[in-house]
Amino acid sequence: MPNVGDQLPDITLSDDQGQEIKLQTLPGPYVLYLYPKDDTPGCTKEACAFRDNYGAFKAAGVQVYGVSPDSVTSHTKFREKYHLPFPLLADTDHRLADALGMWGEKKFMGKSFTGVQRSTFVIGTDGTIEKVYPDVKPDEHAMEILRYLGKA
């Protein structure tokens, strides 16, 4: 897992509109939250919490980006269904999750599988990682970040 002060890996992902987004060229500050799967209970709670607090993020000058291994098409449907005002990025080959140390074994209901670890990275104005949240609670996390930013 990268440390505070590190640069994000030089990776380009497609957003839910099919546009290519090069992470290292995004203007900071921004929040990059990784989640396992579109339209599942925990991931929907997390996305909707960011949606419901999006005005506070924008007022703070902070953009939000959601990232999962789902396809562009899945992201488009998820974003439209829940009226998400921020882009969703498709990490279909989990290059970003791997590079951030957030792809690995998980357990759910007694079963083991490989997938994205729910996590968030706050990227500063200089493009470096400012804060890492390696394990988050979906319904509380947006407010946790706003508190960190001094906006809650």
pLDDT per residue as tens digits for the range 103-136 = 877 666 677 767 799 999 999 998 899 999 988 8
Contact assessment for residue 81 and residue 39, using Cβ atoms and an 8 Å cutoff:
yes
3-class DSSP state of 148: helix
Residues of the chain with pLDDT under 70: 106-109, 113, 152
Determine whether 43 is an active site residue.
yes
Q: What per-residue confidence (pLDDT) applies to 29?
A: 95
Token pair for 134: 């390696």
- In-domain check, residue 21: no
- In-domain check, residue 79: yes
Q: What per-residue confidence (pLDDT) applies to 103?
A: 87
Catalytic residue among 8, 13, 31, 43: 43
121 forms beta bridges with 32, 132
State the Cα–Cα distance between residues 14 and 45, nearest whole angstrom: 23
The domain of 83 spans: 27-148
Q: What per-residue confidence (pLDDT) applies to 139?
A: 87
CATH number at residue 128: 3.40.30.10
State the Cα–Cα distance between residues 106 and 114, nearest whole angstrom: 6
- In-domain check, residue 31: yes
Q: What per-residue confidence (pLDDT) applies to 132?
A: 94
- In-domain check, residue 8: no
Contact assessment for residue 9 and residue 137, using Cβ atoms and an 8 Å cutoff:
no
Question: What is the reported pTM?
Answer: 0.93
CB atoms within 10 A of CB 126: 10
- In-domain check, residue 4: no
Nearest Cα to Cα of residue 135 among 122, 147, 115, 119: 119
- In-domain check, residue 134: yes
Contact assessment for residue 50 and residue 140, using Cβ atoms and an 8 Å cutoff:
no
- In-domain check, residue 101: yes
Q: What per-residue confidence (pLDDT) applies to 108?
A: 65
Cβ-proximal residues to 50 (8 Å cutoff; 6+ apart), any chain: 31, 33, 57, 64, 66, 84, 86, 142
Structural domain count of the chain = 1
- In-domain check, residue 35: yes
